[in-house]
Structure 1
Amino acid sequence: MKPMPGPGPVLRSPLGLAHAVTALLAVVIVADVTHFGAAAYMRSVMGDVASGGAGDVDMGAVDRADTAVASSSLLYLIGVVGTATLFIIWFHRVRHNAEVFAPDTQRRTPGWAIGGWFIPLANLWIPRGIAQDVLRASQPDPYASELRHHRLLNAWWGMWIASNLFDRLASEKYDAAEDPQAVHDAAGWLMAGSVLDLVSAVLALLFVRRLTAAQNAKAMAGPAFPPAPQHPAAGGPVPAAGGPVPGA
């Protein structure tokens, strides 16, 4: 006698996590704007220092600019750490739901939705592939040739990689700057990095909201069962097995 199969995975609502991630992404956006303003102030101050004489240097303005850059960088770091933590939890949740919607469209196990982010270099493509699979499973028709919102996924992922690489380059330039002109130029790089990161955060926010909405809509629509087959002996329909899938 074959053993009875155990209960399969059930849907778990991603709405609460999505709201929390959205709120933290808003904090990151505010931090980006603040950091842009601090870097612009530093650029202005260092421009004045570079073009003026030693007697024209306002050391108070230099100290204020330096404090502004350091404080905004700390705010950004706190926002990013908190957002990344909750985002990965949300990401694992929507991957778990994809196992209910269409498990045969998933190329990696749910654990990769967490572990894939921590593998150097491989984290540049593994999470995107998982996101693409989850996006497919969350469609009304998972087997459709066209993926809804795939352009948003590609835009967010490309901007996320670009902003991370640019931020590292800008930080290195700023840390290595030793004279006023070099600090002035490096502050411009910080400003550009803040803009790229802001765009990345906005795209991430939109992706979280749209994927969560897609999963919620599919869960609320309920399961779609094929027509009941005819019983070979009695000639009547056989009731479909299982019950409704819990809504998100």
Structure 2
Amino acid sequence: MIEQNSAPPAPALRPVRGAARCAIAFLALAGAAWVARAVWHIRLAVAGQPASGPPDQGDGVHRPLNTLEDSYHLVASVGSAVTAVCVIVFLLWLDRMRDNAKALSGTDPRYGDAWLWLGWILPVVNLWIPWGVIADVHRSVFPERPLPAVVNWWWGLWLAGLAGGMGIIYSDDTDEVIASAYSGVLSLLGADLVIIAAAGAAALMIHTLTTAQQEHVAGRGR
């Protein structure tokens, strides 16, 4: 019997283009939501604080909101909901990319599955592990290539958005943010611009990493 050499079977890969498009779409929505926040911050600053003072009067007393303040609550709530969904969709894309990177490289990810979720919320380690998870997706498949610069740009903007409690995660409640818009809107606008830029960088990063991985898969099939 003559033995025939055959190529090793192609690794089982998860479809990722649809997940990438969905993540980019939600990043666009999240960016638009933060643009809306910025617009309302400007509107609040231009309107000026009412004579009755800030919404939070202190000692647990809150005055009735005016129409503009009430509409800001709605804008902020919608923006927070869109951002939460965006995070989930982004992580689902990243999960597929990690699985494909493992199949293509034949090596386990540097960070285990739990870090895909916990790395973003645990203090201190959230300063580098999410970046490391994404960098590993690229480096495990392309060890000879430098990490795309957009990954570092995105991560720098993400960290800037986390800093100071005026970005991705507000340390103040909505009424306190309204008071900040009345007294010092520039810090709010600066944070808004950072988050909008971070969303754009994240979308570009998803496109860059997904395209590179898909082109590698196509090259293996030739």
Question: In structure 1, which of residues 29, 32, 53 is the aligned counterpart of residue 31 of structure 2?
Answer: 29
Question: Cα distance, 1:165 vs. partner?
Answer: 2.0
TM-score normalised over the length of structure 1: 0.70
Query: What SS does the aligned partner of 2:143 have?
Result: coil
Match of 1:147 in 2: 146
Counterparts of 1:227-242 in structure 2, within 5 Å, are: none
Query: What SS does the aligned partner of 1:10 have?
Result: coil
CA gap of 1:176–1:33, structure 2 versus 1, over 3 A, is: closer
CA gap of 1:63–1:167, structure 2 versus 1, over 3 A, is: same
Counterparts of 1:178-197 in structure 2, within 5 Å, are: 183-197=181-195
Give the paired residue count: 200
Match of 2:6 in 1: none
Counterparts of 1:1-248 in structure 2, within 5 Å, are: 10-46=12-48, 63-104=66-107, 106-138=109-141, 142-144=142-144, 146-149=145-148, 151-168=149-166, 172=172, 175-176=175-176, 183-222=181-220
Residues in 2 aligned to 1:93 and 1:80: alpha-carbon distance in whole angstroms: 20
CA gap of 1:174–1:184, structure 2 versus 1, over 3 A, is: farther
Query: What SS does the aligned partner of 2:48 have?
Result: helix
Question: Cα distance, 1:27 vs. partner?
Answer: 0.7
Question: Cα distance, 1:87 vs. partner?
Answer: 0.8
Question: Cα distance, 1:47 vs. partner?
Answer: 6.4
Counterpart residue type for residue 191 of structure 1: L
Residues in 2 aligned to 1:190 and 1:71: alpha-carbon distance in whole angstroms: 18
Residues in 2 aligned to 1:69 and 1:173: alpha-carbon distance in whole angstroms: 12
Residues in 1 aligned to 2:154 and 2:74: alpha-carbon distance in whole angstroms: 27
Larger Rg: 1
Q: Percent identity?
A: 23
Contact 2:11 2:104 (8 Å CA) reproduced: no
Query: What SS does the aligned partner of 2:66 have?
Result: helix
Contact 1:9 1:99 (8 Å CA) reproduced: no
Task: Return 5+ residue gaps in structure 2 as ranges.
Answer: 1-8, 53-64
TM-score normalised over the length of structure 2: 0.78
Residues in 2 aligned to 1:23 and 1:11: alpha-carbon distance in whole angstroms: 23
Q: Output the aligned Cα RMSD.
A: 2.9
